[in-house]
Amino acid sequence: MTFTLTAAVDPQRDHVRGDASAKVTVVEYGDFECPNCKQAAPALKLMLEHFSPDVCLVYRHFPLVEVHPHALAAAEAAEAAGAQGEFWRMHDMLFAGTLEPTFDLVRHYAVELSLDIARFDHEARNDVFRPHIDAHIKSGRQSGVRSTPGIFLNGSLYDVSFGYGGLYKAIEDKLGGS
């Protein structure tokens, strides 16, 4: 069975790294507490750098709260940072970190990013972005995501369970061997 992305990429609502009009779009449904997503983050960043400007990366939240108790709070924190223009820097800090993304840790990251801490605290603690995160979860489920990272390549679910070499090759193929 082939799964396709049910919610189109929207540069106004999605977190897009790279040119949203690139030839190839990689969408990741991720969880900031997932060890596989943590491993995926640098590989996806390298992929983006390698294929720039022909590839863009989109991040959507898919916190697996049943197994990752801090994942939803980390997603809220990333959104709160994003509201201040620092989503991707918070994203990178969360995945580079070695500790569980507790509120104290993500608040420390917010301080490092020089965010408005009063605003960050309010937004991250009061479910301000919960509807947005819930919409990501819903679209992920409707698209066939069952685990993280859930990777889509130009709208089709792509299995990366055996590594990212195949994804790189598939991107090269879509770009005509470049």
Share of the chain above pLDDT 90, in %: 91
Predicted confidence at residue 126, as pLDDT, reads: 95
pLDDT tens digit string along 32-79?
Answer: 999 999 999 999 999 999 999 999 999 999 999 999 999 999 999 999
What's the mean pLDDT when you consider all of the chain? Answer: 95
**pLDDT exceeds cutoff 60 at 170:** yes
Strand 24-30 vs strand 55-61: parallel, antiparallel, or unpaired?
A: parallel
Q: Is 20 exposed, middle or buried (0-12, 13-18, 19+ CB in 10 A)?
A: middle
**pLDDT exceeds cutoff 70 at 178:** no
Predicted confidence at residue 100, as pLDDT, reads: 85
Predicted confidence at residue 99, as pLDDT, reads: 76
Predicted confidence at residue 27, as pLDDT, reads: 98
Q: Per mean pLDDT, which range of 98-102, 137-141, 159-163 is the poorest? A: 98-102
Work out the pLDDT band at 97, boundaries 50, 70, 90. Answer: confident
**pLDDT exceeds cutoff 90 at 101:** no
Q: What backbone torsions phi and psi does residue 28 show, to the nearest 5 degrees?
A: -115, 125
Q: Which CATH number applies to 15-174?
A: 3.40.30.10
Q: What would the mean pLDDT of 143-151 be, rounded to a whole number?
A: 96
Rounded alpha-carbon distances, angstroms, from residue 104 to 36, 70, 74, 96, 110: 23, 11, 11, 16, 10
Residue 62 and residue 83: Cα distance in Å, rounded?
19
Q: What would the mean pLDDT of 127-150 be, rounded to a whole number?
A: 97
